[in-house]
Amino acid sequence: MLEQVAAVTLMNLRSLPQRLGTSWVIVVGIAVTVAVLVSVLAMDAGFRKTLAGTARADRAIVLRGGSNAELSSTISRENTLTIMDAAGVARGPAGKPIASAEAVSIVALPLKRTGTAANVTLRGVGPQAFALRPELHLVAGRMFRPALRELIVGRSAVEQFKGVAIGGHIAFRDSDWTVVGEFDSGGDAHESELVGDIETVLSAFRRNLFQSVTVRLESAQAFDRYKAALTTDPSLSVDVLRETDYYAGQSRQLNKLLGFLAVFVGGFMAVGAMFGALNTMYAAVAARSAEIATLRAIGFSALPVVVSVFAEALLLSLLGGAAGAAAAWMFFNGNAVNTLGANFTQVVFRLSVTPALLAQGIAWACCIGALGGLFPALRAARMPVAAALRAG
């Protein structure tokens, strides 16, 4: 039986060059399906990676009670001092808490690609901001100076928006700001931001309240002690979150949307590719009806015929899946795109085509091929020998 299976399968595969036209229908259809599916999943993976890289387990962010994002939060200066001095906060060499009271605002900048205006986050930070976030470092220019309208800009923002290169001028709130530096933070969400001195930013927007306080903890395990110190203080009404939990919450809605798109678009295209494979394999079986009947007449059983048709469908789908996965990696991996974040501002991130996504795409292709080849294979096995020989 195994010899029959091997002989019939090899004979069937050797005849593939004679059916290139119909075979390409399966390969191309599945390749396009896999490429689209992997690219959508790569958006989800890239966005998750960007926000996950923004957070650290030993940092906590404090917002006004009931706020779900920095933009909707306000914290008074008196409460800020209490938040920074609470138990569990790490301190620098001079004994000062490693913490930054911050404010975020929205600035409209034109996109390089389309020229249309998009919202960008302007973040005012305190003097300890760079000790708080050691992953952030200058790659060009210099640091902004306090009390001057100077900004440093993330590398991702420089790639996506006009007028934010070093030496550029950004006008907002009847003031003109000069870009003096460019920073890199490992591709996290802060790379999509403009960063300046907190007091100068507050002055430009005529505000006196901060919107969040981010602190470095003595250790990741110090979070519960820090949270308890703030939530039990009757003078405060704040929400204390691990930075990892905060950014996970900011990405939840977009992740749901991208997941839905992957299932809906990928599923729709998979059904189309499966029907294409069904039609192609039915046509291949019909064209080989005399050949299949002859094999049956000279003593071959139905199983080798089923396996040969099934193997052809799987091989073609595997080729299509590999081609689609390769195309997704070549054309989409690392591409910078931007989307609307939780603060109604643009977050720049890069598509991440991981080995796991490539494997998932090829697995989808094999499933499509298996379903597309199953019924034609069963039809070939059940084909009446005498009728097929007369038709041939």
Q: Delimit the domains of the chain by residue range.
A: 2-52+251-391, 66-236
Greatest CA separation found in the chain?
96
For residue 364, CA distances in Å to 35, 54, 263, 322 come to 11, 32, 12, 11
Q: Closest Cα partner for 44 from 332, 325, 365, 368?
A: 332
Residues sharing a CB contact under 8 Å with residue 67, sequence separation 6 or more, in sequence order = 73, 239
- 212 vs 61: CA distance, rounded Å: 7
Q: How many residues does the chain have?
A: 392
- 237 vs 75: CA distance, rounded Å: 9
Kindly state the helix (H) or strand (E) to which residue 255 belongs, with its residue range: helix 243-287
Which pLDDT score, from 0 to 100, does residue 151 have? 96
Residues of the chain with pLDDT under 70: 1-9, 11-20, 22, 281-302, 305, 338-346, 377, 380-392
Is 380 in contact with 285 (CB distance < 8 Å)?
Answer: yes
- 317 vs 276: CA distance, rounded Å: 11
- 157 vs 167: CA distance, rounded Å: 15
What's 142's DSSP letter?
-
Rg, Å, the chain Cα set? 30
Query: Quick check: helix, strand or coil at residue 348?
Result: strand
Which pLDDT score, from 0 to 100, does residue 100 have? 96
- 268 vs 276: CA distance, rounded Å: 13
Q: Are strands 137-141 and 175-184 parallel, antiparallel or unpaired?
A: antiparallel
- 14 vs 6: CA distance, rounded Å: 12
CB atoms within 10 A of CB 268: 12
Which pLDDT score, from 0 to 100, does residue 352 have? 85
